[in-house]
Every structure is written in C-alpha cells, then in structure tokens.
Structure 1
Amino acid sequence: MSDSLAISGDSGTRGRIAAARSPSPWLIAVALTAIAVLIALGIWQVERRAWKLALIDRVEQRVHAKAIPLPAASFWPAISAAGEEYRHVAMRGRFLHDRETLVKAVTEEGGGYWVLTPLLRDDGTTVLVNRGFVPPERRDASTRQDGNPDGEVAVTGLLRITEPKGGFLRTNEPAHERWYSRDVAAIAAARGLHDVAPFFIDADAAANARNAPVGGLTVIRFPNNHLIYALTWFALAFMLAGKLLVTFGGGLFRRPRFARAARAAPGTGSDAGTIVKPT
C-alpha cells in the first residue's frame, strides 16, 4: 500500500477563492464616473473664476472711467448687461418730478426708498434716473421740494439694466404703488411715459441741495467663491479615488494572486481538506 496521501479541496478553500475575486465592474464604473464628474465640476469652477475676475476688472474700469455721452436711442435695443451695464454715462434733460416713483431700498444709509424720476431729453426720449436714497420720513415729495431742481440739468451716473422680476422676494404692485424693484417698463406704463430707455441710470453722488436724494450709493459687489468651490470638487474627487483604491485595491491587484496560490498549494491548516488514505 502506498504511503502517498490524496488531498481533496473543501468548502473553506473554495470560499477563500470566491472572496478573492475582483469587485463588481459596475460598482467600479459608477465610482470612476463620479470621480470624472467631480473633476469636471472643479474645472468648470476654475473657468467660472476666470470669467468672474474678468467681469470684475471690466466693471471696475467702466465705473472709474470718465463719463461718456449716453448711447443714441437707435442703439438702445442692443444694450445688454455684458456690453454696457455699469458704464459711466452723461446726459442732459429736465426732470419730471410729478412722475417720480419710490422703490423700496436697503442701503448703507438704512432702509428707505430709491427716488426714480423721469428725465425728459431734448430729442423727446425719456430716461429713468435713480436720483438716490431717501429715508421713510422723506417719502412724501413735499418734504424735499427744495431738493428738486427745475429746468435743464446735467446728470452723470452708471447705466443699469432693468429689474423686471421684483425684489425682496416680493413682486411689484403698481396698482397699489408698491415697488420692490426698478422695473423700467412697469414704471413707464404706470406713469404714462413714452419713448423710454430700457434701462435706468444710478446718479452719481453730488453736492445736492438740502433734502435732495442721496446719490452715489450703487453697490458693486460680485461674489467670487469659485476657487473654494473648485477646491471642494477636486478634494471630493481625490477622496473618492482614495476610497476606491483602499476598498478595491486588494481585489484588483492582490487577491487574484492569493487565489492562485490557494489553488496551487495543498491545505495544511485548520481549513485544509479531508485527508483520505488510499486503500
């Protein structure tokens, strides 16, 4: 009788081999797709940051530039936020004080109202001018008559785009004289104005007469958190990639080798197969 021994595989060896298999391809595909999306979002935020910095630089140049004549009426339909907003302009005309509109405002001076007054120009066109801020106690025009100039005046200020969607989470109510945004078209309709520019002008600060609206309060602030957002997306992509490597790295690189070793070597430990002596 031979002294050789035959070794038969048992369920323990087969279990180790099964556990050593690579992770699900679908799970890896989902993780890699998520990493790609996070990287793409980070790149997009980097591009947005470059755009925002260019915008800030462009606006700063416009605001501090010498005032130029207001564009001709024939050019008004082509005016856009990207092309002309915050451009420093100058014009002349006569204020129509009896058709002013008060728009709710919160400024560095406190809460109150913007005084939007139509400026009638020599060519018959009208431009709404935000003359500035007044507190609630000066809401009534009779309290600031000495601040309303008569005759032709020169106005300089920043060209602003109309605000048609309301403000302060509230919608304008022209019928009740409740205005929360500087909606040029709605104000023009409520005041019976014609040939009105599709924008308004924020008047510069000036040495106005007593009780005149306070101009020059335009807030120019562009949030620029794109770098933080970009770093956040890149960090999430890095962490997800690290998690993928730690979780599945063994199955991708080491476990198949161990599985082959398990199949090649006879079991000798507690999980070894049953030893059967041949007869």
Structure 2
Amino acid sequence: MNGRRRLGLAALALPIVAGLVWLGIWQVHRLAWKRALIAQVAHKLASAPVDAPGADRWPALSSADSYTRLVVRGRYIPAVPTFVQAATTLGPGYWVLSPLRSDRGFTLLINRGFVPQGDKARPIPTPAGEVAVTGLLRLNEPKGGFLRANDPADDRWYSRDVNAIAAKRGIGPVAPYFVDADAQASPGWPRGGLTVIRFPNNHLQYALTWFAMAALLAGAVGWMALRPSKD
C-alpha cells in the first residue's frame, strides 16, 4: 500500500477513533452521575420522613424529589380502589390506589400496596378514621406501561396516572404525585413496602468497551502507517 493510500485511510480512521474516545468519556460522566444518583436515593431512604408537599410546592416538584420519604395524615375518601397492573417479587398482580384527604386540605393518591391477581375480585376495605401514612414520593406516571396505554373508560390501568385516575373516580384535583406506602406491621393485603428501586449501572463497562475499540482502531492505523511499504 503506497503512502497516499495510507494517509487517506488514516484520515478516515482518526475521526472514528476520536468519536469512540468521546463516547468513552461520555460514559465516564454518566457513571459519575449514576453513582451520585444512587447515593442520593440511598440517603433519602435512610432519612426520617418529612411532610408530604402541599399545593404551594407542587409546581417545583421534579424527578429529584422522587423516593423522598414522606408522612401524610388524614382520612381516606370512600371510593372504589383503583387497581394498577404490577409485577413484584411476590409475582404478578396489582397495586391498590386509594384517595386520601390530608389534614392540610389537599387530596393525593396512596398506593396502599400490592395484591395478587386472584385478590382483585375480593373486597378490599378502605381504612376508616384518621390515619398516618408513611412512604415514598413517586411522581405521576401518565404514559402507561407494560407496552400498553391506560384505558380509563374500561378502568384498565398500566401505570399510576394520578390525574386520569382522579378524573375517573370523580375526586377532583389531586397532588401530582402519589405515595408508595411502607410495609405495615399487620399481615394481609394490600402489602406495602414493595417499591422497586433499581438503577442499572453498566456505564463503566460501556466506557471500557468504547476505549478498547478506540485503542484497537488506533493501533491498527499505527501499524498500517509504520509497516514497510511493498511498493
């Protein structure tokens, strides 16, 4: 291969090497972000619960508030529970959502916990009287799930879309979040405390892959440039 062809191939390969290096660096930054996120959530889970955000704080809520431990006091509103398809360590079934009117005057949905598929048809009584619920703040889920869209008309739910559920149940405006209730001391269903908190973290593996590909390609270009010409 003559020198001109070698220079041409090197000119084509070097931008690819640069792109692979950039991808590796990007994954390193993603790794730092993911580790910070995991540490942040772990800190929230270990913290004492704080009061559930009232209406004055709703506009400022963001994903950074997810998994904050909350406590809310009030009374459940008598209403038909909403069953949302779920898959947990206990198998397939449903989350049971019920509206609660807080003692501070706003309404929010409580994910009281999980019930197996066969328990959906059984009566699930709503707790009476004043209650105090502790759990995790979860933001509204309006986009459906399990590759299926929610169907309010048929009361079929695949994600916890609090606004659509509130409209279906006729309970008026609700908080833009729901609370995943903690596990209760009493046995039975619904069973709380089954929130899945998992953040896949493969960024180091991806970074090493991109850097290795860049090194291999750069090595091939270097070998090609330095090998004796046969011309």
Please report the TM-score for the alignment, with normalisation by the length of structure 1: 0.78
Q: 1:188 aligns with which of 142, 153, 166?
A: 166
Deviation digits for residues 135-189 of structure 1, max 9, x if unmatched?
Answer: 12221352x33xx320110000000011111111111111111101111111111
Q: 1:228 aligns with which of 195, 202, 205?
A: 205
Q: 1:61 aligned to 2:39?
A: no
Q: 1:41 aligned to 2:13?
A: no
Q: What is the aligned partner in structure 2 of residue 269 from structure 1?
A: none
CA contact (8 A) 1:165 1:171 kept: yes
Q: What is the aligned partner in structure 2 of residue 106 from structure 1?
A: 87
Where structure 1 has 5 or more consecutive residues not aligned to the other structure, the ranges are 1-18, 260-279
Bigger mean CA deviation after superposition, 192-201 or 228-237: 192-201
Q: 1:77 aligns with which of 56, 59, 69?
A: 59
The aligned runs of 1:228-267 (5 Å cut-off) are: 228-250=205-227, 254-255=228-229
Greater C-alpha radius of gyration: 1
Q: 1:158 aligns with which of 107, 123, 136?
A: 136
Where structure 2 has 5 or more consecutive residues not aligned to the other structure, the ranges are none
CA–CA distance in 2 between the matches of 1:119 and 1:86? 19
Deviation digits for residues 90-148 of structure 1, max 9, x if unmatched?
Answer: 01111124232100011111111000111112343111110000112221352x33xx3
CA–CA distance in 2 between the matches of 1:20 and 1:134? 72
CA–CA distance in 2 between the matches of 1:178 and 1:26? 60
Bigger mean CA deviation after superposition, 19-28 or 150-159: 19-28
Q: 2:73 aligns with which of 87, 92, 97?
A: 92
Q: Which has the higher contact order (CA 8 A, sep 6+)?
A: 1
CA–CA distance in 2 between the matches of 1:75 and 1:244? 57
Q: 1:199 aligned to 2:180?
A: no
SS in 2 for 1:217: coil
Q: CA RMSD in A?
A: 1.7
Deviation digits for residues 184-220 of structure 1, max 9, x if unmatched?
Answer: 1111111112231001100000123x54300000111
Q: 1:51 aligned to 2:39?
A: no
Please report the TM-score for the alignment, with normalisation by the length of structure 2: 0.94
CA contact (8 A) 2:6 2:225 kept: no
Instruction: Name the structure with the higher helix share.
Output: 1
CA–CA distance in 2 between the matches of 1:72 and 1:158? 15
Q: 1:174 aligned to 2:156?
A: no
Moved over 6 A (4+): none
Counterpart residue type for residue 61 of structure 2: I
